[in-house]
Amino acid sequence: MADATTATWSPRSAWAGILKEGHIGLTGATGVTIAARDGLGIASLIAPANGEAALAKAVKASLGLDLPTTPAIARAGHHAAVWAGPGQWLLLAETRSGFSDGLQALSGVAAVAEQSSGRAALRLSGPRIRDALAKGCMLDLHPVAFPVGMAALTSIAHIGVHVWRAEDGPEGAVFEIMVARSFAGSFWSWLSASVAEFGCDIVASGASIGRG
pLDDT grade for 29, boundaries at 50, 70 and 90: very high
pLDDT of 5 over the 80 cut: no
207 band by pLDDT with thresholds 50, 70 and 90: low
What pLDDT was estimated at residue 102?
82
Q: Is the pLDDT of residue 1 over 60?
A: no
Range in 55-64, 96-105, 114-123, 146-155 with the lowest mean pLDDT: 96-105
pTM confidence score: 0.90
**What pLDDT is recorded for position 212?**
58
For residue range 168-199, list pLDDT tens digits in order: 999 899 999 999 999 999 999 999 999 999 99
Question: HEC states along 12-51?
Answer: CCCCCCCCCCEEECCCCCCCEEEEECCCCEEEEEECCCCC
**Distance (Å, whole) CA 4 – CA 23:** 40
